[in-house]
Amino acid sequence: MSTKVAVVTGSNKGIGFAIVRGLCKRFAGVVYLTSRDVTRGRNAVEQLEKEGLKPNYHQLDITDEKSIETFRDYLKQKYGGLDVLVNNAAIAFKHDAPDPASVQAEQTLFVNYFSLLSACNILFPILRDGARVVNISSSCGHLSHIPSEKLRQRLQEPTLTIEELSQLLKQYVEAAKNGTQAAEWGNSSYVVSKVGVTALTKIQQRMLADRDIKVNSVHPGYVDTDMTSHKGPLTIDEGAVAPLFLALDAADSVKGEFVWYNKDIVSWNGPYPSK
């Protein structure tokens, strides 16, 4: 039996760190904490080691395809494949950020959608049968946040391809540069990026229909992290509950779904879920 492998991107702090903690306690295999910055990553590993846990570490910058390829080659050579991938790495500009909408759009979509997509494109070929992929989305990733009905319809088309989705999101970035994004897309690049992640999840599952691989997206809840300026009421371990459920416990029938922080499967294109 080959060793099972779990990977969490952007996991030196916040929800990603808590997901690594939870996996270390329950996953029957090796768990990789990854980070862009090696020092921060190794410090995070040391913190978990003090709790008696044994995460592995590897540098991974999802914005750098060479970094992803290096990690892929390492996993393939050492273990032969990958069993759990949690795509957690993301950024968010603060509400009072002085950066113009054009900059926020370009950078947020680059990291949260296009770099996540790069990680998937490079790592998916080494996913083993039975693998689970968890894309960390957000309540902001619910389709109801997109003002344009025409766009909402386009984003949920059952034949939408990744190329077409990526082209739509590039059009958003261009609209933000021209200051014309609000009517169709709204004013939040973070919303658009996470709607993109949720839409991508559904396409990915459709593309993997002939393999035993489950891909789901999840809103982990409003969590006390740097990203929320520590305004969220949930602890990072509470924010890890639903992602861990999808990584470890969800029935095999749960695939291509959008899951709320309480582990409920919610309708992505229906009314916004009540609290």
Strands (E), the chain: 5-8, 30-35, 56-59, 82-87, 127-136, 214-218, 258-259, 265-266
Query: Percent of the chain having pLDDT more than 70?
Result: 99
28-31's contacts with Cβ under 8 Å and 24+ in sequence apart are: 28/4, 29/3, 29/4, 29/5, 29/83, 30/3, 30/4, 30/5, 30/6, 30/56, 30/79, 31/6, 31/7, 31/55, 31/56
**Known active-site residue 190:** yes
pLDDT digits (tens, 9 = 90+) for 174-190: 999 999 999 999 999 99
Q: How far apart are CA 96 and CA 83, in angstroms?
A: 40
pTM comes to 0.97
- Residue 1's pLDDT band (boundaries 50, 70, 90)? low
Domains for the chain: give ranges and CATH numbers.
5-266 (3.40.50.720)
Give ∠ CA 33-53-2 in degrees, rounded to 5.
65
Question: In the structure, what pLDDT confidence band is assigned to residue 230 with cuts at 50, 70 and 90?
Answer: confident
Distant-in-sequence, close-in-space partners of 195: CB < 8 Å, separation ≥ 6 = 140, 141, 142, 143, 145, 146, 155
Mean per-residue pLDDT for 131-152? Answer: 97
Separation of CA 247 from chain center = 12
Mean pLDDT of 106-120: 98
pLDDT above 90: residue 49: yes
Residue 99 tokens read as: 């950066």
Mention every residue, 6+ apart, whose C-beta is less than 8 A from residue 78: none
What pLDDT is attached to residue 97? Answer: 85
Number of Cβ within 10 Å of residue 212's Cβ equals 12
Task: Say which of 190, 222, 261, 272 is annotated catalytic.
Answer: 190
Residue 226 has pLDDT above 80, yes or no: no
- How far the first Cα of the chain sits from its last, in Å, is 43
> In the predicted model, is pLDDT for residue 6 greater than 70?
yes
Report the interhelical angle of 189-207 vs 101-109 (nearest 10°): 20
Whether pLDDT at 224 is above 80:
no
> Which pLDDT belongs to residue 275?
59
Is there a contact between 225 and 238 (Cβ–Cβ < 8 Å)? no
Average pLDDT over residues 107-134: 98
> Does 241 score more than 70 pLDDT?
yes
For residues 185 and 271, what is the distance between their CA atoms, to the nearest angstrom? 17
Q: How confident is the model at residue 9 (pLDDT cuts 50, 70, 90)?
A: very high
